[in-house]
Structure 1
Amino acid sequence: MGHGRNPLRTSAVGALSATLIVAAGLGLAPTAQAAGGTSGVRFVDISGDGGTTLKANVITPAGGDGTRAYPLIVLPTSWGLPQVEYLVQAQKLANSGYVVVGYNVRGFWQSDGEIDVAGPHDTADVSKVIDWALANTPSDPRRVGVAGVSYGAGISLLAAAHDKRVKAVAALSGWADLTASIYSGRTEHVQAAALLNGVGHVTGHPSAETQQVFKDFFASNLSKEQDLVDWGKKRSPETYVDQLNKNGAAVFMANTWGDTIFSPNQYATFYDELTGPKRLEFRPGDHATAELPGLFGLPNDVWTDTGRWFDHYLRGADNGIDREQPVQLKSRSTGGYEGYSDWKSVGATTRKIALEGTTRIHANVDSGADGGIIFLSSILDQLTRIPPMASIPLLPRYWAAVWQSEKYTSAQHVRGTARLHTTVTATKGSGTLVAYLYDVGPLGIGKLVSNAPYTFHGQTPGQPFGVDLELFSTAYDVPAGHRLALVVDTVDPLYIEHNPSGAQLTFSSPEHDPSYVSVPLREQ
């Protein structure tokens, strides 16, 4: 790990954690009070896996005569949020004819047990909640759905893979590959993990295993790397995709382009592997910011489509959602949606930017090119279309490598996943690099299009090696008269870096293996 770094950014991330918790508590409490006076709402205790008590709320359609069975929707809560999180949306679903059970996942707030981080106990809890609902509410066992935001989304996908009764899923701002989410490119996403860890300690009871995983993660304990991978694999829907496909649940997934906790790439990869009914939506924003307004009852595309998904696959409504293009993208630069037949069609055309010549940079210093600040930067981009920026001409070439495309005569519609291929020679056996793709205007100001980190270990100093890196997927329009620039440096506040003191990285483009960044473009 680099010397003199503050890997946790403790004060900034801690303050953000506290702000989110307070906002959730203040904002959601009135929701609970409003819903509490509605007919059909009751708060119950449900016995989860191993007898652990889960605090839950149940909303049933008004006016039931006791002879009719309604489709059931189970809503596991998000990480660190109380069980009232979904009451507004639950009431809307109940008004549409669903029995809805929302519950606090184990280890958080009033629920008993310890935080299992979507482990086997959490998966089994969903089945226990379904069991309880079928025995105690007018629910139809043939029409069961599970949905959730963030933590609840991951648990929902896992439940659908393990319980054949689940016929439809809505996984909002979740993950498919937990390890790839917080450890992509073998690089610790420190701000994201610190936020999760901080909120977990404030609002819940992390298990000893959970605490040890975070401890090893922040310490960059390479001897525990395989343990981290195995721990994450057990908690990744990706691991159970064959089971999920066999069960045949209809899967709806939605996320944001700037999600700094669960990057969009792993959802896109997972979507391609699903063989049943499926839908994928991406919008501007950061983690769960697209769904948040809907939790307060405001008009919201994500929750509207969630309702349409369940209406079709649980109630048989002919609402057309199954006939729409299943991949729906909203560009960060425009306000409209674009439909695609599959994810592969999103970036069907690519344009390469050659990374010519030989460039050497020195490690351990932030050049000024950064991925931003967790939540704040992507929310700013979502609301004002102002992403993190840097003056490309002023970036110090001592610490940053810079390549630029020609000036484009027409707009370039970047869609999908940009890929970096290059050859690196390091003076040390370990190191970290961070790649950034910028939209550069006439004055040289670069607006961040995408980024991604890459860490290597065990390389022979002075020996060239190849690097292939996927940048985080996005949808961004580069105006005519602008350029694209690739910038590479070694330090970013979002990530833990592993550059020994005095390390240098040399980027080259051998004739037999040229270096480039491949940019996916929407066909004009």
Structure 2
Amino acid sequence: MRRILSTAAATLIAALCGSLLAPAATAETNGVTVHRASIPGSGGITLRAKVIEPTGESAEPRPLLVMPASWATPNIEYVGAAARLAYESGYVVVSYTARGFYASGGEVEVAGEEDVADASEVIDWAVANTSAGEENVGMAGISYGAGISALTAASDPRVDAIAAMSGWADLVASLYPNRTVNASGAELLLGVGELTGRFGADLTELENAYREHRTEEALHLAEERSPINKLDELNANGTAVMLANSWQDSLFPPKQITDLFSGLTGPKRLMLAPGDHATAELFGAAGLPNHIWDTAARWFDQQLRGVDEGMADSAVEIQPMNGSEWKRYPDWRSVTDHATTRELTEPGRRHLFAPETGGLSTERGPGWRHSIDSGDPTLANSGLVLVSGALQGYARIPVGVSVPLVDRDDAAVWATEPYADGVNVTGTPRLRVNVTPEDESVSLFAYLYDVGPLGNGSLISHKPVTLRNDSPGVRSRVDISLRPTSWQVAEGHRLVLVVDTVDGRYRDESSGGEVAFGSSAEQPATLRVPVG
């Protein structure tokens, strides 16, 4: 059922993109031409493309933008945004369907060497067959197109600037966070990929390893396709890199993007907004007003056309999950460095009818040990892949929970006192706690909620971790960086931390028995709360 639902959701989004963005096959409007092209790719295959080019003569070669389409999406995806870029700024834009999908030749290689070589071949073709030159070259894309853009920029020094939206920096951290399989994400990608593409050998190997619970055996294929492992090349090339992501991205969570951003030494910009995978920039791709795409246009104008847009060499823009105003910082450290550390105290009952709840205290307490059962779900969860994040992004409807109804036999819960003046949680929360599993493996899911006076909680952040093949009864020190977040906690609300052992989004590795949490003077259990 999960696979059917994930495939249906992905297919719906692909269909929506197509219906919103499809242009005429060949057209000339507002000083821009749009026409089909068949471009030779690496190894002799043919890539199907749309070429959007300003009309009229140009005294000098025009700047070039290459846009690889998203996973399972044809080249019509960006034509709306491309037409604006061509008309307003004079770019030649080539949007192409990645190899293995739809009418493009070859097989799906998951942003492998062939995909990178294809992008360079597209640049060669555009320079030879359009009014574009190779002196000012940029790449842009959403999701799969973002990853290919970043990897190509590391490989091809002709790429001067990129705008990578809803992409990945680290495929391992995205699909196997803390040794936990993101099953919903994997099913979504595989399901819609099988409907629209032809899998190559590497993707088939990845799928077989995933389905046979041998994920770690195929991780080397993900590592070599991760832009974060190409940092030296990106920095050596001096590529100007703009990254955009959503707080609740179901496929490529933002922490791996913030890690990539922090490692870049050239011109860089990071944007984080409410929503799920590709939702924050979806309508901008159609040419509609959109802050992320508008910023990308200014980014390319400054980096490729030499227009002074007043954009600093390093900047971060974030929009809170439950807010509308964009906030600006010089770098990611400025976003997340201000924090308070809360001590986890032993869960207990405050009165006869109260559920067991520990404190998130500003003071150090005595050592303690507290156990829950593993392998059973609770009301705490990360929401439905794509759906929950989209609701948060478009309608500001969060993933909710009634904290008093979370079963304390199957979950451990800690809470702050109510904030008298409210607080802005902005950055990366971090949990450190001692964990002793009774059996060989256990999956843990940490959730951070904003909880009102009646006990209704809104999910701020979450993260999984799986302890595998540890000797039963041996204590481990677990250090979890939750997803980066930006959330405005209202006056009179609390922060509540819930940890349980089952989440429908992830593959459950809990083998039963109890799991104990603990704190000691030498290794206190703490939650670092970023505030700003």
The answer on whether the counterparts of 2:442 and 2:466 sit within 8 Å (CA) in structure 1 is yes
Whole-Å separation in 2 of the counterparts to 1:218 and 1:402: 33
SS in 2 for 1:393: helix
SS in 2 for 1:326: strand
The offset of 1:47, in angstroms, is 0.8
Q: Where does residue 33 of structure 1 map in the other structure?
A: 24
The offset of 1:35, in angstroms, is 6.8
SS in 1 for 2:336: coil
The offset of 1:405, in angstroms, is 0.9
Specify the code of the residue in structure 2 equivalent to 1:80. A
The answer on whether the counterparts of 1:331 and 1:476 sit within 8 Å (CA) in structure 2 is yes
1:89 to 69, 81, 85: 81
Q: Does 1:510 align with 2:520?
A: yes
Specify the code of the residue in structure 1 equivalent to 2:500. D
1:217 to 201, 210, 219: 210
Q: Where does residue 386 of structure 2 map in the other structure?
A: 375
Q: Where does residue 68 of structure 1 map in the other structure?
A: 60
SS in 1 for 2:6: helix
- Deviation by residue 1:193-218 (Cα, 9 ceiling, x = unmatched): 11110111111111132022122123
2:471 to 454, 460, 465: 460
Structure 1: where are the runs of 5+ without partners?
Answer: 1-7
The answer on whether the counterparts of 1:347 and 1:520 sit within 8 Å (CA) in structure 2 is yes
Structure 2: where are the runs of 5+ without partners?
Answer: 347-368
**1:258-337 mapped onto 2 (5 Å cutoff):** 258-322=248-312, 326-337=315-326
Q: Where does residue 420 of structure 2 map in the other structure?
A: 409
The answer on whether the counterparts of 1:35 and 1:91 sit within 8 Å (CA) in structure 2 is no
**Residues 347-356 or 512-521, more deviating:** 347-356
Whole-Å separation in 2 of the counterparts to 1:168 and 1:108: 26
Whole-Å separation in 2 of the counterparts to 1:310 and 1:220: 43
SS in 2 for 1:511: coil
Whole-Å separation in 1 of the counterparts to 2:394 and 2:98: 31
Whole-Å separation in 2 of the counterparts to 1:432 and 1:277: 39
**1:344-363 mapped onto 2 (5 Å cutoff):** 344-357=333-346, 358-363=369-374
Q: Where does residue 43 of structure 1 map in the other structure?
A: 36
- Deviation by residue 1:486-519 (Cα, 9 ceiling, x = unmatched): 100111111001011x321100111211101111
**1:51-450 mapped onto 2 (5 Å cutoff):** 51-65=44-58, 67-95=59-87, 96-221=89-214, 224-225=215-216, 227-322=217-312, 326-357=315-346, 358-450=369-461
Specify the code of the residue in structure 2 equivalent to 1:125. D
Q: Does 1:19 align with 2:8?
A: no
Whole-Å separation in 2 of the counterparts to 1:455 and 1:214: 21
SS in 2 for 1:220: coil
TM-score (norm 1): 0.94
The answer on whether the counterparts of 1:352 and 1:518 sit within 8 Å (CA) in structure 2 is yes
Whole-Å separation in 2 of the counterparts to 1:37 and 1:349: 53
Whole-Å separation in 2 of the counterparts to 1:288 and 1:491: 27
Whole-Å separation in 1 of the counterparts to 2:453 and 2:125: 62
The answer on whether the counterparts of 2:82 and 2:287 sit within 8 Å (CA) in structure 1 is no
Whole-Å separation in 2 of the counterparts to 1:22 and 1:71: 31
The answer on whether the counterparts of 2:68 and 2:96 sit within 8 Å (CA) in structure 1 is yes
- Deviation by residue 1:322-355 (Cα, 9 ceiling, x = unmatched): 37x6101111122111111110110221122222
Q: Does 1:476 align with 2:467?
A: no
Whole-Å separation in 2 of the counterparts to 1:250 and 1:23: 31
The offset of 1:37, in angstroms, is 4.4
Specify the code of the residue in structure 1 equivalent to 2:321. R
Whole-Å separation in 1 of the counterparts to 2:248 and 2:324: 16
The answer on whether the counterparts of 2:336 and 2:530 sit within 8 Å (CA) in structure 1 is yes
Whole-Å separation in 2 of the counterparts to 1:36 and 1:505: 64
Specify the code of the residue in structure 2 equivalent to 1:326. A
The offset of 1:18, in angstroms, is 3.0
Whole-Å separation in 1 of the counterparts to 2:388 and 2:250: 10
Q: How many equivalent pairs are there?
A: 507
Specify the code of the residue in structure 1 equivalent to 2:84. K
SS in 2 for 1:161: helix
SS in 2 for 1:390: strand
Higher RCO (CA 8 Å, separation ≥ 6 residues) = 1
CA RMSD of aligned residues (A): 1.4
The offset of 1:140, in angstroms, is 1.9
The answer on whether the counterparts of 2:81 and 2:284 sit within 8 Å (CA) in structure 1 is yes
Q: Where does residue 354 of structure 2 map in the other structure?
A: none
Whole-Å separation in 1 of the counterparts to 2:300 and 2:338: 34
SS in 1 for 2:13: helix
The offset of 1:34, in angstroms, is 8.0
- Taking every aligned residue pair, what percent have the same amino acid on both sides? 44
Specify the code of the residue in structure 2 equivalent to 1:75. M
